[in-house]
A and B are shown apart, each in its own frame.
Chain A
């Protein structure tokens, strides 16, 4: 409903005020006159009139009178325009506006959670460990920029869609990862962020059936299916190999697998779909030993092809180590580090340590574990690495 009012009134703050006034009017009128046949349409319509009224009052003092004329001229009395299918489009428009590249990425995340998910400023601030006034300020500035620079409130044209969709997907994935990473902060709030990201992912797939949107939703579902098995009751990390696979959320895995297959079949997939394909190879293995590393290595080759990065190379090296033995994987990791890439990336040193340990090169393993521990800021990861290091001593 907020999304629709933003379209009709052309301004976030005006729409929020108008929505509040419409609810107030409903509380007064519905008990007296009965609940209207289509409550949502009634609220949108009331909100629109309240919003236009407010603008007329302001118009006496300023130049926004033209806008009022624009808005009242629109064919918005047509009930079809207020019907439910138009609402879905409004939510999609809102997502594209909140994730517009003219806004900084952390602002895109905050705006999406605030305006699309409806989280409060305080909830978002506590999830991201920033002071609420800082976040409130960021949102106020973003709304002002959307209004003053006239950032459009519409679904991008086919030509711009791929790039703009990437921005939306990136925001959804950032929200998911923030909720999924076993980092500091209130564990409960974090899980909520992942759930919000999955909700956004579902909404996108429903509104815009693009393969990469399906790939991202699959990726999130498959990772999230392992949520309960990836830490112990004390919050210690349990690696994929050691997880109790009976704890994995099977219905969620089934949904993820079906989405991956659909996205792959489209042949227009991208990096999210391929990452989901890797996650599905793990999900399909009944035990760690049954993992199809040959298939995983091939998918990493494809991923490196379309989205090359040292982090993907590192993950591929870990898969190669499983397929061809630790020496082959270690050679690849040393190659990455020798090029001066990922020098401060904790997982690179942790992976090197692990492979050295398996090869019986204890001294090198200890050095790499120590380096990884220095670089770790997450308490559970630090505990895990220290445990490994002490096992070597």
Chain B
């Protein structure tokens, strides 16, 4: 079963960390991804540019409406994702819990990918 781990971070809080701390966390993050690969759990990973670069498009009465910024104005913003192959939900949650940015605020939404029924 594949699970997507959607990582939401508080960008303000992240930027406020000293550069040395951020580098150390990202090194740990690299190690976490490496471990997922070694364990055969890793399917995909992507990190997104800052939410301030986001554009949100909607159709209103059939006309294109593009707004600068993410689709919801919240303190925590979607910052990246991983897709992992896991035995069950508990394994996905246990692996998500070890993501190194998690102790620094933010949240990780864990969802199973739909499979052909």
**Interface, chain A (partner B; CB < 8 A):** 62-64, 100, 102, 148-152, 156, 160
Contacts and interface: CB of A to CB of B under 8 A. Distances in A.
6 contacts: A63-B115, A64-B117, A100-B89, A150-B87, A150-B89, A152-B90
Contacts of B89: 100, 102, 149-152
A151 B115 contact: no
Contact of B116 (A63, A148, A156): A63
Interface residues of B, number: 11
Given A62-B117, A150-B1, A160 B90 contact: yes
Interface string B77-117: 00000000001111000000000000000000001101111
A320 to B, nearest CB: 41
Nearest to B94: A160
A160 B97 CA distance: 13
A148 B88 contact: no
CB-CB nearest 7 A-B residue pairs: A152-B88, A63-B116, A150-B88, A149-B112, A150-B1, A149-B89, A151-B89
B82 to A, nearest CB: 16
B107 to A, nearest CB: 15
A4 B78 CA distance: 41
A199 to B, nearest CB: 27
Nearest to A146: B89
Contacts of A64: 117
Given A102-B89, A160-B90, A150 B117 contact: no
Contacts of B112: 148-150
Contacts of B1: 150
Given A149-B111, A150-B1, A62 B116 contact: yes
B88 A151 contact: yes
Contacts of A150: 1, 87-89, 112
A101 to B, nearest CB: 9
Given A63-B117, A150-B1, 11 more contacts: A62-B116, A100-B89, A148-B112, A149-B89, A149-B111, A150-B87, A151-B88, A151-B90, A152-B87, A152-B90, A156-B90
